[in-house]
Structure 1
Amino acid sequence: MESAGEQAPGVVLHDYLSKLQQYSGRDTILYATNWMTDEPHTPNEALITNGDLYGFMRMMRDLKTKKLDLILHSPGGSAESAESIVTYLHAKYDDIRVIIPYAAMSAASMLACASNSLVMGKHSSIGPADPQFIFPTKIGMQIMSAQLLIDELQEVQVVSEKHPGRLGAWLPLLGQYPPGLVQKCISSQKLAEVLVQKWLEDHMFAGESDAAEKSKKISGMLASPGKYYSHGRYISREECRGIGLKITDLEADQEFQDLTLSVSHAADILSQFTPINKIIANHLGNSVISKPST
């Protein structure tokens, strides 16, 4: 018989997923992206996209319980795609527990806020949910916060109204932005806030008398760049508690922690031996893997 170290990395991963499911008694799915490396990724390869819903649908085949553990490790992506995943999962499950072994950022942090309960370790983080825009400029592709774009373009408007002669200095900048950008930024900002507020109210704080108030407060902080100043900031477990999220400590159950981190480590090892951008896998041994485009 092969030892765990001699087995193929994918076999080891599914073995730990199976053991975790046997321990918890809940359906178990891993959604992990190979993004904490120096390897380059195109946006579609690294981020949450519409195609991920298909992956989740494949992983749901033959799963039997009404409770799900979702192990989540992702830099984020499309809020609309995250919404489709959340809608689908909650249509299938009465209780969803999201486990963050390392980090769930941006739209992945929004997805985490759609859980009934959130499990984090001392080392775990989520990130701000303020929308980002990627657009071409004369110096290459640029990523900028929707709110910062709104603020900059509103500043241009104020300057043009008060000092029309200065508008010419802004024209090279304005020429890089497509028409309707401000309204698109405003809509995206509002969407992120509304989705997080709704998911928290419907799931994490369901049935609580102050659910609406708490959900609105938390969603406003996560969707605003003014709270954390950078979209890439890591929000720790204690900070998550501080803003009002309900968190269960991963360390509270040693065996559960060991099995969860073993799943995460096995996924990391698999990505080292196989070119993987993203993997969605369940405890039955099924998986959907996204590989780098050639």
Structure 2
Amino acid sequence: MMAIHKMDRKKGLDLILHTPGGGIAATESIAHYLHQMFGNNIRAIVPQICMSAGTMLACACKSIVLAKHSNLGPTDPHISNIPALGVIEEFKRAAREIKRDQSKINVWRPILSQYRPTFIGQCEDAIKWTEEFVTNELKNNMLSIDSDKERKAKEIAKMLMDKKNNKSHGRHLHLDKLKKAGLIVEQLEDDDNLQDLVLTVHHCYMHTLMNTTAIKIIENHNGVALAKTTIQ
């Protein structure tokens, strides 16, 4: 809210994102607030990496600017650093194997006993929530004028969550793959002036903060900022 205060909202928002991700609840809240302030006139700019929940926030924008070296990342949700889709797959595999061979219960018991009560349900809810959020944001903004927005939004959301093809939550998804999937992506190198400005800002932040205790900073073009540090 500090960074948005007194900004000229009629000009829209260029949102520069450099993040490893975060929680879906916070992401949903941020997207909702930005839409309240700027409507759909929000463009995401990714100078380097924008992973996980950062990718979800980028999907809430009207377009995404990526450089040749930039990337988004898979959106499959994690609960306490445990992949929700992996838990569901493992649980189903255990059920199949035990059904075929009762002796396999001795193999699976120590694994399944680590899951606390209601954890499977939490994983299922997180998966559904993530897919619904990305699908709805794409339909309501980036793909809003596309006659086939319903199908395309669902396919993009599933691609971003596809653990089987992505293999890892840390996989880097680059410009060509994202454009092919149907996201509206602009290439940073197509505008020399914009490229110079974006990378200058990015490098200034990286060089200034990389050897400090800063873990998060939100700042606007007027220098109004909120920074969070960690105690070493």
Which TM-score tier does this pair reach, normalised by the shorter chain? over 0.9
* 1:201 shift after superposition: 0.6
Tell me, in whole angstroms, the C-alpha distance in 2 between the residues paired with 1:168 and 1:235: 39
Show CA shifts across 1:220-249 (max 9, x none). Answer: 111121221111110011111111111111
Q: Tell me whether 1:259 sits opposite 2:197 in the alignment.
A: yes
* 2:15 counterpart residue number: 70
Structure 1 residue aligned with 2:24, among 75, 79, 84? 79
* 1:105 counterpart residue number: 51
* 2:105 counterpart residue number: 167
Tell me, in whole angstroms, the C-alpha distance in 2 between the residues paired with 1:193 and 1:227: 16
Tell me, in whole angstroms, the C-alpha distance in 1 between the residues paired with 2:9 and 2:138: 23
* 1:168 shift after superposition: 2.2
Question: 3-state DSSP class of the match of 2:90?
Answer: helix
* 1:275 shift after superposition: 2.2
Tell me, in whole angstroms, the C-alpha distance in 2 between the residues paired with 1:102 and 1:269: 14
Tell me, in whole angstroms, the C-alpha distance in 2 between the residues paired with 1:176 and 1:77: 24
* 1:273 shift after superposition: 5.0
TM-score, length basis structure 1: 0.75
Question: 3-state DSSP class of the match of 2:17?
Answer: strand
Contact 2:9 2:37 (8 Å CA) reproduced: no
Show CA shifts across 1:229-277 (max 9, x none). Answer: 1111100111111111111111111111101101000100111353211
Tell me, in whole angstroms, the C-alpha distance in 2 between the residues paired with 1:289 and 1:115: 24
Structure 2 residue aligned with 1:212, among 150, 157, 161? 150
* 1:162 shift after superposition: 3.2
Tell me, in whole angstroms, the C-alpha distance in 1 between the residues paired with 2:162 and 2:118: 21
Question: 3-state DSSP class of the match of 2:135?
Answer: helix
Question: 3-state DSSP class of the match of 1:277?
Answer: strand
Which amino acid in the other structure matches residue 126 of structure 1? Answer: L
Residue correspondence of structure 1 range 1-294 to structure 2 within 5 A: 57-66=1-10, 67-94=12-39, 95-134=41-80, 143-272=81-210, 274-294=212-232
**1:280 to 1:163, Cα distance in 2 relative to 1, 3 A:** same
Which amino acid in the other structure matches residue 121 of structure 1? Answer: A
Tell me, in whole angstroms, the C-alpha distance in 2 between the residues paired with 1:206 and 1:272: 39
What is the total number of aligned residue pairs between the two structures? 230
Tell me, in whole angstroms, the C-alpha distance in 1 between the residues paired with 2:127 and 2:162: 8
> Structure 2: which 5+ residue stretches go unaligned?
none
Tell me, in whole angstroms, the C-alpha distance in 1 between the residues paired with 2:14 and 2:86: 36
Tell me, in whole angstroms, the C-alpha distance in 2 between the residues paired with 1:166 and 1:69: 54
CA RMSD of aligned residues (A): 1.3
Show CA shifts across 1:67-102 (max 9, x none). Answer: 000000001110111000000000100300000000
Which amino acid in the other structure matches residue 68 of structure 1? Answer: L
Which amino acid in the other structure matches residue 55 of structure 2? Answer: S
Tell me, in whole angstroms, the C-alpha distance in 2 between the residues paired with 1:191 and 1:203: 18
Percent of aligned positions with the same letter in both sequences? 36
Tell me, in whole angstroms, the C-alpha distance in 2 between the residues paired with 1:255 and 1:169: 60
Tell me, in whole angstroms, the C-alpha distance in 1 between the residues paired with 2:123 and 2:186: 34
Show CA shifts across 1:131-162 (max 9, x none). Answer: 1232xxxxxxxx33211111111122223333
Question: 3-state DSSP class of the match of 1:59?
Answer: coil
> Structure 1: which 5+ residue stretches go unaligned?
1-56, 135-142
